[in-house]
Structure 1
Amino acid sequence: MSSSSQLQPVLDRIDADFDNSLERLFALLRIKSISADPAFAGDCKAAADHLAGDIATLGFATEVRPTAGHPAIVATSNGNGGAHVLFYGHYDVQPVDPLNLWHRPPFEPAVTDHADGRKIIVARGAEDDKGQLMTFVEACRAWKSVTGSLPLDITIVIEGEEEIGSKNFVPFLEANKKDLHADFALVCDTGMWDRNTPAITTSLRGLVYDEVRIKAANRDLHSGIFGGGAQNPIRVLTRILGSLHDDNGHITLPGFYDGVKDLPPDILAQWKNLNLTPESFLKPIGLSIPAGEKDRLLIEQVSSRPTCDINGIIGGYTGEGSKTVIPAEASAKVSFRLVEGQEPAKIRKTFRDYVTARLPADCRAEFTDHSNAPAIALDWNMKPLAAARRALTEEWGKDAVLMGSGASIPIVADFKKTLGLDTVLVGFGLDDDNIHSPNEKYDLRSFHKGIRSWARILSAFADAPR
């Protein structure tokens, strides 16, 4: 029997069991699995044990496995053959500070009314990533409940350190490679285009994050005595930083755009039709004019074009009142979001060479590497992508958008490098979900239709040619 012929009873089961699905999510949300704070290490272990126990009830061979930090879960179940997928999620959450800005206790989940009438789930982790990963788990539960099996082979891997950079996860992938083989990976840690339009994220920008510190004199100097004669690191630094962009918003590093490709014409046409405007995107944050490349659409500027941003700058006296000094040093943190075709190591070297070449006499520069990750871009024509897109379109009644994300999700690059897997990114988050902020939420509709969407996607994967 084909999976598609069994799909409707599975969807009916999801609807009938939704209140129980919500309570299972609430049980997970009550666990204070804050990975950044060692005081919550026990809670992280409790979250892993809780999830592993729940997944095991679905017939998965499930283990909680140690890492050098918080434990990870590996769960495998053989379905009806065909494709084998690896689903990834994370159970750890961000700290809740500042606590006084929460409207209710962050680990006491509840369904409440949004200001515009929507029903929302409010709790830390409601969207990122407990609510998202449970959409997949609940879809598997419905398939098992109705048919007694899964429509395809599934391995689930869930980590507990995503919010602190997954620093122990790549070694974990290497050590567990034989148990994580699959045809492709699935990640549910992204969002929709809007409340009614599903999306598949087909590209992620990479990241180079560098810190530059420019030093001159051997101590801070009195500006009345030395002003005009001594080199000022703040002036040197800001002159260099100010030259990183030209008047049209282009980045001036030599060779920066080498290898950068334009969007396929059909995708660019689709993005134009989405009509992302300064009015809709910038006005809510108090801005009005796009600041990127003037010859590019706003949606390209934030989704598919490389960027350079100065994220912090320090130098001299910054306390209350005045202190007339020429500082001995000044520093800045600079990040580059990269796209396919750009190599992080090359961009980092180009930036450092650019700074060093512009240093006057009596100045020297020191650099610190804070982060780097390559950009990821899927083959627009890969079969799993087309199958997932059809399933999402059927569930939501609107064509699923293939969209680029301006953010970086390093695990996607890790899957490619370590396991050789491409990743299909499907998520149901919304821009106003307040992830990493007080009053994090997940739309009740996102949770419900997210479960139904994954049920459809699993069916589509099972019926698609490998």
Structure 2
Amino acid sequence: MGFDARVGDILTHLDQGLDAALARLSDFLRIPSISTDPAHAGDVRRAAEWLAADLGALGFDVQIHDTPGHPMVTARSQPGDARPLLFYGHYDVQPVDPLELWNRPPFDPAIEDTPQGRVIRARGASDDKGQLMTFVEAFRAWKAVHGSLPSDLILLFEGEEESGSPSLRPFLKAHAGDLRADLAIICDTSRHADGRPAITTQLRGLVGQEVVVHAADRDLHSGSFGGLAANPIMILAQALAALKDDTGRVTLPGFYDGVGDLSPELARDWQALNFDAGDFLGRVGLSDPIGERGRTALEMVWNQPTAEINGIAGGYAGDGFKTVLPAVARAKVSFRLTGTQDPAAVRQAFQDHVRRFVPADCRIDFHDHGASPASVMDIADPAFGTAKQTLTQEWGQEAAFIGAGGSIPIAGDFKELLGMDSMLIGFARDDDRIHSPNEKYDVESFAKGARSWARILAALR
């Protein structure tokens, strides 16, 4: 891939304008757009209006769309003959509690020097305002050099991602004709742990399930009823323990339907990452990997499905001791999905599994907590290889195709509702403290992120 001299002019413009770009990001970060807190609804709208004004000044055709929740911001550049691309990000942020753990006010951004380099410190700096603005600064520099924006761009910036995106799917359905492009580009992920740039090509899906077992009509004295009456904690414990066999495999019938093996290309990329499971676990006070036998660590966190117990409650757990058989016990269980696993089938298999352990004189309730399939991108699309080469050029490290153990439902929504794959490229670091006090974003991530998008835009035009 040759180096376009015009790209060099854009990169120079970005470098020379970094201080001004950081000042704009700081203005954006000062808006406390906490979507989950109704008291900040006006601030969320103010952030949408700030973003719309900035995009409008660049020459985009911008609209703020009201929803039952917080606004969606869309923007379009002029049509042309380039491949249509949809850029997605979110401008809402997490709450800041506990406030006393912040070293400075969370909505008073500042550039700080740290042993690892300069950072911008504020809520939303990494998740996702700083990442979103890498898009915008690349567009800004492109226009400054070329005199016009890249053609055939669609931007979608939402204000509810941190509160579950309740308006997103209805909005995508209602505006599918206006939003559909050849490829979605999402900047809400991270570089690999060793600092190399990465393109996330697969995301695990998620099924959340709460189960409640009701036994007697009151808590019972364990001396009088123990050994005779049903104990819902024991029932749940037996059902949950039976979810896995002694090799670490999930026992639900049909659970692994649709789970595929790694492609040779991904297997090579993942092996080259030299992931050290012991070091990874050592950061959280553990040392010994568990999981399905015969699988590598990265396979287990990126390419294999899981069943995990996230919480269990019942009976007396306060100070001292109380000998009761509880009337009610509950547990929350989640499943991470891969490949083409069907969330509805997994949920049904789990419910059927638990029912087999519940006596006839007990009652069981299930409460659903979301379900989304895994997302697996088609890396045969030449855009993926082009972006990988371009990132390697910018960062001076070989870029990698990686997986993600978590879930980003928007990628699945784009696939299901708009019929397009997503290319997930982000520049955050593992130590950015997103969702935690003292969130930060490396100035290098911000600067080289914008440079990366300028290169990718030029390569895909």
Q: Settle same-fold status: TM greater than 0.5.
A: yes
Whether 1:44 aligns to 2:17 is no
| Aligned-partner Cα distance in 1 for 2:198–2:308 | 27
Residue 4 (structure 1) aligns with: 4
Correspondence list, 1:206-245, <5 A: 206-245=205-244
| Change beyond 3 A, Cα 1:243–1:329 | same
Shift of residue 79 of structure 1?
6.2
- Structure 2 CA distance for aligned equivalents of residues 360 and 180 of structure 1: 51
Structure-1 residue corresponding to 2:312: 313
Deviation at 1:393, TM superposition (A): 0.9
Following superposition, the deviation at residue 179 of structure 1 comes to 2.0
SS in 1 for 2:434: coil
The CA RMSD measured in Å over matched residues stands at: 1.4
The one-letter amino acid of 1:131's match is G
Q: Is the CA contact (8 Å cut-off) linking 1:123 and 1:440 kept in structure 2?
A: yes
Tell me how far 1:358 sits from its aligned partner.
Answer: 2.3
Corresponding position of 1:102: 102
Question: TM-score, normalized by length of structure 2?
Answer: 0.97
Q: Is the 8 A contact 2:77 2:152 kept in 1?
A: yes
> 2 CA distance for matches of 1:121 and 1:31?
15
d(CA) in 2 for partners of 1:71, 1:195: 37
- Separation of aligned partners in 1, 2:265 and 2:42: 50
TM-superposed CA distance for 1:113, in Å, is: 2.5
Give the deviation of 1:273 after TM superposition. Answer: 2.1
Q: In terms of mean alpha carbon deviation, does 160-169 or 248-257 score higher?
A: 248-257
**Counterpart in the other structure of 1:75:** 75
Report the counterpart of residue 346 of structure 1 in structure 2.
Answer: 345
* Residue of structure 1 equivalent to 2:402: 403
| Partner deviation per Cα, 1:58-85 (whole Å, 9 max, x = no partner) | 1101111101111110110026531111
Instruction: Determine the C-alpha separation between the residues in 2 that align with 1:80 and 1:371.
Output: 39
Q: What is the aligned partner in structure 1 of residue 329 from structure 2? A: 330
Letter in 1 for 2:45: K
Secondary structure at 1:292 match in 2: coil
Q: Percent identity?
A: 54
Instruction: Give, in whole Å, the separation in 2 of the partners of 1:131 and 1:79.
Output: 27
- Name the structure 2 match of 1:35: 35
SS in 1 for 2:339: coil
- Give aligned pairs, total: 460
Shift of 1:214: 1.1
The within-5 A match list for 1:9-408 is 9-78=9-78, 81-114=81-114, 116-194=115-193, 196-408=195-407
TM-score, normalised by the number of residues in structure 1: 0.96
Which residue identity lines up with residue 14 of structure 1 in the other structure? L
Inter-partner Cα distance in structure 1 for 2:210 and 2:314 = 13
What whole-Å deviation, never above 9, does each CA across 1:380-421 have from its counterpart, x for those lacking one?
A: 211211121111111011121100101111111111122112
List runs of 5+ in structure 1 lacking aligned partners. Answer: none
In structure 2, runs of 5+ residues without a counterpart are: none
Please identify, of 319-328 and 183-192, the stretch whose mean Cα deviation from structure 2 is larger.
Answer: 319-328
Matched residue of 1:57: which SS? helix
Alpha carbons 1:155, 1:180 under 8 Å: kept: yes
How far is 1:379 from its partner?
A: 1.1
Give distance in 1, aligned partners of 2:80 and 2:455. 16
What CA distance in whole angstroms lies between the structure 2 residues aligned with 1:398 and 1:240?
A: 47
Residue 29 of structure 1, CA deviation = 0.3
Q: Is the 8 A contact 2:278 2:289 kept in 1?
A: no
Measured after TM superposition, the shift of residue 293 of structure 1 is 1.2
Q: CA deviation at 1:118?
A: 1.7
Cα distance between partner residues in 2 of 1:326 and 1:92: 45
Amino acid paired to 1:77 = S
* Cα distance in 2 between the residues matched to 1:113 and 1:80: 43
Residue deviations 1:429-448 (CA, integer Å, cap 9, x gap): 11111111111111111001
Structure 1 SS opposite 2:238: helix
Structure 1 residues 181-224: Cα deviation after superposition (integer angstroms, max 9, x where no partner): 21111100011113530000000100000011111111110111
When structure 1 is superposed on structure 2, of 277-286 and 197-206 the one drifting more is: 277-286
* Letter in structure 1 aligned against 2:95: P
